[in-house]
Amino acid sequence: MTAYEARPIGPSALKELRTADDAGRPCVPYTPTEDGDPLRCCLRGIGSGERVALVSYAPLRRWAAETWARPGAYDEQGPVFIHADECEGPAPGRSGYPFSRAGALRTVRRYNADGEIVGGRLLEIPADGEQGCDEAFAEAFADPEVALVHVRAVEYGCFLFEVLPNRAGR
């Protein structure tokens, strides 16, 4: 079990995003012609024939609404893929961190309890992706000011998932 929890977009946010995204645009489902783009609802790649939607998502805004944080100018939104219809979420018992293939470049962005950026680092996923991610997250959460971590793809800047310490794994 990983030491940290990679969290997908939550069910209530997904329900809202399937109607209108965080930019106010309606959800427009489609079936892609290629597999692989990362689904943020179940933290895996799109499979053949799946109905998905590309929506604008504001992850820090959603977290701030739950925690009463005030991210101010750090609130941002960007494109994410989700299933167009309700899905089961991440597979039970999945191991490792999502989207952590060796050689992939990720940004590990740190936020404080107010939702302000308090640092970050570039991470090239090593051959042992789980260990490499655990080390980067341990480094981030070693700072007592860090309340939340976002993992983003470097190539597009896309939000992949948020990270919190895994209470079950400690």
Beta strand extents in 24-147 (DSSP E only): 38-39, 44-45, 52-57, 78-83, 105-111, 117-124
The pLDDT score that the predictor gives to residue 96 is 85
* 91 in a structural domain: no
Q: Considering 51, 83, 115, which residue would you say is the last residue of a domain?
A: 83
- HSE at residue 124, side-chain half, CA atoms within 13 A, is 3
Q: Considering 83, 116, 136, which residue would you say is the last residue of a domain?
A: 83
Nearest of 138, 147, 140, 76 to residue 111 by alpha carbon: 147
Q: Which 3 state secondary structure label does DSSP give 149?
A: strand
* 131 in a structural domain: yes
Number of structural domains (the chain) is 2
Q: Are residues 109 and 79 in the same domain?
A: no
C-beta of residue 102 within 8 angstroms of C-beta of residue 108: no
Can you give the length of the chain in residues?
Answer: 170
* 170 in a structural domain: no
Rounded mean pLDDT of 135-162? 95
Is pTM beyond 0.75 here?
Answer: yes
* 73 in a structural domain: yes
Can you give the residue range of the structural domain that contains 155?
A: 105-165
Q: What percent of the chain has pLDDT over 70?
A: 96
Q: Are residues 121 and 50 in the same domain?
A: no
Residue 122 pairs in a beta bridge with: 107
pLDDT at 170 over 60: no
Q: Are residues 19 and 70 in the same domain?
A: yes
pLDDT in tens, 74-122: 999 999 999 999 999 998 888 889 999 999 999 999 999 999 999 999 9
pLDDT at 146 over 80: yes
